[in-house]
């Protein structure tokens, strides 16, 4: 993997734009793509909710703090944790890692940057989005990661990058948003 990509990020205004950009970058990089499909299920005691919110509908959702239903990955590519897995070992929400091995139920990865240490094993876990705007709850069993070539401005806060690129194609970018993004990254 090119070393210069470790310290760079494309900052997007929203989650959907970030996911699209990540998939475009991944498709342009060499290597065999591995696709991990999640298992989604409604969290409810009411059997009618399964009819109202079918699995196919749940599969189409990607709330902000959740991995996508179809997670596309390649060896040597940069991912970001979406949950605190082992804070004492530095495996926290937002930690960037490089994929070293892709297995059916485990992703092996190493941390990017100077603080990288050993190999970390990331399992599939059940995740429930905290988005209170949804009229239902669902859970997704998936690896708690996503590609990290692009991320939202909010997710980039507190992280340090050598270079940033702003996805200015988003019509909701206003000068105050760009200034805020520059000051917080």
Full 3-state SS string of 111-126? ECCCCCCCCEEEECEE
- Parallel, antiparallel or unpaired: strands 120-123 and 138-142: unpaired
Looking at the predicted structure, is the pLDDT value of residue 183 above 50? no
Q: How far is CA 64 from CA 13, 35, 129, 147, in A?
A: 12, 20, 8, 13
Tokens matching residue 105: 């139920």
What is the rounded average pLDDT of the residues 30-39? 97
Do 54 and 138 form a contact (C-beta atoms < 8 A)? no
Secondary element (H or E) of residue 51:
helix 48-52
pLDDT tens profile 11-34: 777 878 888 888 998 999 999 999
Quick one: pLDDT at residue 123? 98
Domain ranges (residues) in the chain? 8-182
Looking at the predicted structure, is the pLDDT value of residue 127 above 50? yes
- Parallel, antiparallel or unpaired: strands 96-102 and 150-152: unpaired
- What whole-number distance in Å separates Cα of residue 158 and Cα of residue 16? 21
Do 64 and 96 form a contact (C-beta atoms < 8 A)? no
What is the rounded average pLDDT of the residues 30-44? 97
Name the most confidently modeled range: 9-18, 81-90, 167-176: 81-90
Q: Is 7 or 122 the better-scoring residue by pLDDT?
A: 122
Instruction: Mean pLDDT check: name the lowest of 38-42, 83-87, 150-154.
Output: 150-154
Closest C-alpha among 7, 26, 125, 115 to residue 73: 26
Quick one: pLDDT at residue 15? 78
Quick one: pLDDT at residue 21? 86
């Amino acid at each position: 993997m090119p070393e210069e990509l470790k310290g760079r990020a494309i900052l997007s205004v929203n989650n959907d734009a970030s996911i699209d950009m990540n998939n475009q970058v991944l498709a342009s990089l060499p290597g065999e793509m591995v696709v991990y499909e999640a298992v989604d299920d409604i969290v409810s005691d009411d059997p009618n909710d399964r009819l109202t919110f079918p699995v196919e509908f749940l599969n189409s959702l990607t709330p902000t703090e959740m991995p996508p239903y179809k997670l596309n990955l390649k060896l040597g590519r940069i991912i970001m944790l979406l949950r605190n897995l082992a804070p004492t070992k530095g495996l926290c929400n937002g930690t960037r890692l490089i994929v070293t091995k892709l297995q059916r139920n485990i992703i092996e990865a190493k941390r990017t940057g100077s603080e990288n240490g050993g190999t970390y094993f990331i399992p599939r876990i059940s995740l429930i989005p905290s988005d209170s705007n949804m009229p239902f709850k669902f859970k997704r069993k998936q690896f708690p990661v996503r590609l990290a070539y692009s991320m939202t401005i909010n997710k980039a806060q507190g992280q340090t990058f050598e270079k940033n690129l702003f996805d200015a194609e988003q019509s909701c970018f206003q000068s105050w948003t760009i200034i805020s993004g520059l000051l917080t990254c």
